C-alpha cells in the first residue's frame, strides 16, 4: 500500500441522489447501490486513510439508512441543516464540505484529496486544493457528474466503474459496460495517429491527451482494468507498449501500431504483430464526417440507447417535453435587448419559480441548462466583464438567437454534435435517428444534421490548414 496520506470528503446527498436516479434500463446495466465498503476500500488503495467525512441532512430517510455502515467504516457523519427543496439540501452541504476541506489544508497533512460528488459547485474548492499541491481524485455517478469536474482532477472515476473493482477483487469478471470500447478504440487509434510521434509518448502524457481529446472523464476502470498499461496492452491492434527505465519513474511508453521501428530501442520486449499495422493513412475514414471504422452497427434501438446514455452526462432532459419546458422558462428570463444579465443573476431570478408547464425550477438543473447554452455560443458577453468568472459575466442573446425556437435549435445542435459519430452512414438513416432522438420532424432533423456537419467540416479545415 502507498504511504500517501488520504483525505476523503463525501457529498452524501449527491451520491445517494445519483444512485437513486440512475436508470439502468436506459443502458442495460445492473442497478447501482450505495456501497460504503467499496468506497473506503478504494480510498485505502490510494494510501493511508487519515480523514473521512460524509455530509448530509441526516433527517432524510434515504441517507439516514446508510449511517450504520458509515459508522462501521469510521467515516464521520457531518449533519447539515439547510433550506429544504424537493427533499434536497440546497447548497448547505456544499458550503459545509468546502469550508471543512479548505480548513483541512492548513490543519492536517495529507497527500491525496478524494471528493465524491458530481456537483460543479466544488470547482473553486478543487482549484484551492490543487494550488496547495495535493493530488485530486474525483468520484461521481456518471449521470449526475458535471462535465467540468474531471478537468480539475488528476484522476476521475465514475462510481459504477469503482464498483467494478470490487467485483474483480472478489473474483468476479470485470465488466466494461461503463464505456463504449469499440468507439474508444477507434478514437484512440486516430489520436495516436494524429498526435504521437514515432518516438512514442509516455503514459503519463497520453492519459491527459485522452481526457482532452476523447473523454474528459476517462479512466481505465471504465473498461474493467485497474491499470492504464493493462488497458493499452489489451489493444495490440491499436497501441504497442514498452516499459521505461527508472529515469522516467517506471512509466510506460506508447506507440501507434504503425510506428515502424520505434520499439527496437526498448530492451526485453518483442514487438507485437498487429493486423492493423498495415493500414495506411489514406485508408482511414474521414474523422470529421465518417463513423470510425470497426464501430458498432447503429440500429435504431442501439443508437437511441447509446446516444441517450452519452447525453445523460449533460444533466439536461432527454425527453422533448420537459426540455422544451425548461427552455421556455429560461428564455423568458434571458435579456434580448441592450440589457446584460449574468448566469448568477439568472439563477437567482429563476430558482424556485414555476415553469410554463407548472414545474418548480431547480437550481442545479437550471445551472446545467445555462452552462450548455453558454458553451453553445448563443450569448454576447458584456466587454467589461470578459476577465470575470464566467458565472459573473453579463450576457445577452446574440441577434440570431433572439427567439425561442432559434436558441432551442442551437442547443439541440450542440447535443447532436456530442453523439454524431454514433450515427449510421446513410443520409436517410441519419435523419431518421436524429428525428427519433430529438422527437422532431424530418425537416428539423435534416437542419440539425446540416449544421453539425458544416461545423465539423470547418473544424477539419482549420486543423489541416495549421
Q: Tell me, what CATH number does 436's domain have?
A: 1.20.120.1790
Do 305 and 259 share a structural domain?
no
Do 334 and 308 share a structural domain?
yes
Q: In the prediction, which pLDDT does 335 show? A: 84
Domain contains 289? no
Do 18 and 134 share a structural domain?
yes
Of 169, 200, 219, the one marking the end of a domain is 169
The pLDDT-based confidence of 185 (bands split at 50, 70, 90) is confident
The pLDDT-based confidence of 226 (bands split at 50, 70, 90) is confident
Do 382 and 251 share a structural domain?
no
For 403-410, the CB contacts below 8 A with 24+ separation are 404/327, 404/328, 404/331, 407/327, 407/331, 407/334, 407/373, 407/378, 408/324, 408/327, 408/331, 409/444, 409/447, 409/448, 410/373, 410/376, 410/378
The string of pLDDT tens digits covering residues 330-360 is 999 998 778 999 988 998 899 889 999 998 8
The pLDDT-based confidence of 279 (bands split at 50, 70, 90) is very low
CATH code, domain with 53: 3.40.50.1010
Q: In the prediction, which pLDDT does 98 show? A: 94
Q: In the numeric block, which cell numbers belong to residue 37?
A: 465498503
Do 323 and 452 share a structural domain?
yes
Of 169, 191, 226, the one marking the end of a domain is 169
Do 400 and 309 share a structural domain?
yes
Domain contains 191? yes
Q: What percent of the chain has pLDDT over 70?
A: 80
- Cβ(182)–Cβ(295) below 8 Å: yes
Of 116, 137, 169, the one marking the end of a domain is 169
Rounded to whole angstroms, the Cα distance separating 156 from 218 reads 7
Do 161 and 185 share a structural domain?
no
Rounded to whole angstroms, the Cα distance separating 226 from 53 reads 25
Q: What percent of the chain has pLDDT over 90?
A: 30
* Burial state string for 39-77 with b = 16 or more CB within 10 A and e = fewer than 16: bbbbbbebbebbbbbbbbbbebeebeebbeebeebebeb
Do 138 and 185 share a structural domain?
no
Contacts of 399 (CB under 8 A, 6+ apart): none
Q: In the prediction, which pLDDT does 304 show? A: 87
* Burial class of 428 by CB neighbour count within 10 A (0 to 12, 13 to 18, 19+): exposed
Q: In the prediction, which pLDDT does 8 show? A: 96
Q: Is 361 helix (H, G, I), strand (E, B) or coil?
A: coil
CATH code, domain with 257: 3.30.420.610
Do 210 and 160 share a structural domain?
no
Domain contains 145? yes
Do 193 and 220 share a structural domain?
yes
Among the listed ranges 108-112, 170-174, 186-190, 312-316, which one has the minimum average pLDDT value?
Answer: 170-174
Do 160 and 219 share a structural domain?
no
Domain contains 194? yes
Domain contains 312? yes
Give me the number of domains the chain comprises: 3
The string of pLDDT tens digits covering residues 129-141 is 988 889 899 999 8
Domain contains 290? no
Q: Which residue has the higher pLDDT, 194 or 393?
A: 393
Overall average pLDDT of the 78-86 stretch: 69
Do 108 and 54 share a structural domain?
yes
Among residues 59, 52, 60, 62, the alpha carbon closest in space to that of 5 is found at 52
The string of pLDDT tens digits covering residues 388-402 is 767 788 999 999 999
Domain contains 282? no
Helices (runs of H) and strands (runs of E) counted in the chain: 17, 13
Residue 62 has pLDDT above 90, yes or no: no
Residue 34 structural domain:
5-169
Domain contains 216? yes
Q: In the prediction, which pLDDT does 145 show? A: 78
Amino acid at each position: 500500500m502507498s504511504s500517501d496520506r488520504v483525505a476523503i470528503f463525501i457529498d452524501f446527498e449527491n451520491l445517494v441522489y445519483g444512485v437513486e436516479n440512475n436508470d439502468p434500463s436506459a443502458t442495460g446495466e445492473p442497478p447501482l447501490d450505495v456501497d460504503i465498503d467499496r468506497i473506503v476500500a478504494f480510498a485505502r488503495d490510494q494510501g493511508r486513510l487519515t480523514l473521512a467525512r460524509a455530509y448530509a441532512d441526516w433527517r432524510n430517510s434515504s441517507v439516514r439508512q446508510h449511517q450504520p455502515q458509515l459508522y462501521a467504516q469510521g467515516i464521520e457523519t457531518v449533519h447539515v441543516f439547510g433550506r429544504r427543496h424537493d427533499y434536497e439540501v440546497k447548497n448547505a452541504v456544499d458550503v459545509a464540505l468546502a469550508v471543512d476541506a479548505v480548513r483541512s489544508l492548513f490543519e492536517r497533512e495529507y497527500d491525496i484529496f478524494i471528493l465524491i460528488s458530481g456537483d460543479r459547485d466544488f470547482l473553486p474548492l478543487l482549484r484551492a486544493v490543487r494550488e496547495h499541491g495535493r493530488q485530486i481524485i474525483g468520484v461521481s455517478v456518471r449521470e449526475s457528474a458535471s462535465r467540468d469536474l474531471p478537468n480539475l482532477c488528476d484522476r476521475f472515476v465514475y462510481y459504477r466503474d469503482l464498483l467494478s473493482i470490487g467485483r474483480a477483487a472478489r473474483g468476479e469478471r470485470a465488466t466494461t459496460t461503463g464505456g463504449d470500447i469499440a468507439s474508444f478504440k477507434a478514437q484512440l487509434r486516430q489520436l495516436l495517429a494524429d498526435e504521437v510521434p514515432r518516438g512514442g509518448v509516455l503514459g503519463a502524457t497520453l492519459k491527459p491527451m485522452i481526457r482532452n481529446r476523447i473523454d474528459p472523464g476517462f479512466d481505465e476502470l471504465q473498461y474493467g482494468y485497474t491499470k492504464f498499461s493493462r488497458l493499452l496492452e489489451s489493444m495490440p491492434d491499436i497501441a504497442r507498449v514498452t516499459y521505461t527505465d527508472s529515469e522516467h519513474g517506471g512509466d510506460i511508453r506508447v506507440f501507434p501500431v504503425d510506428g515502424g521501428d520505434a520499439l527496437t530501442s526498448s530492451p526485453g520486449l518483442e514487438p507485437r504483430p498487429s493486423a492493423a499495422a498495415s493500414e495506411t493513412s489514406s485508408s482511414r475514414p474521414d474523422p470529421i464526417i465518417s463513423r470510425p471504422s470497426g464501430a458498432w452497427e447503429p440500429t435504431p434501438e442501439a443508437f437511441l440507447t447509446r446516444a441517450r446514455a452519452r447525453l445523460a452526462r449533460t444533466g439536461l432532459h432527454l425527453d422533448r417535453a420537459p426540455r422544451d419546458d425548461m427552455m421556455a422558462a429560461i428564455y423568458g428570463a434571458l435579456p434580448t435587448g441592450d440589457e446584460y444579465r449574468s448566469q448568477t443573476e439568472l439563477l437567482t431570478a429563476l430558482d424556485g419559480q414555476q415553469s410554463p408547464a407548472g414545474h418548480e425550477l431547480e437550481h442545479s438543473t437550471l445551472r446545467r441548462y445555462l452552462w450548455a447554452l453558454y458553451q453553445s455560443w448563443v450569448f454576447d458577453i458584456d466587454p467589461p466583464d470578459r476577465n470575470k468568472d464566467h458565472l459573473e459575466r453579463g450576457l445577452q442573446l446574440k441577434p440570431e438567437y433572439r427567439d425561442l425556437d432559434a436558441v432551442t435549435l442551437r442547443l439541440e445542435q450542440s447535443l447532436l454534435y456530442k453523439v454524431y459519430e454514433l450515427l449510421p452512414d446513410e443520409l436517410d438513416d441519419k435523419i431518421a435517428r436524429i428525428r427519433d432522438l430529438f422527437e422532431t420532424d424530418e425537416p428539423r432533423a435534416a437542419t440539425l444534421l446540416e449544421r453539425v456537419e458544416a461545423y465539423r467540416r470547418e473544424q477539419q479545415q482549420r486543423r489541416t490548414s495549421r
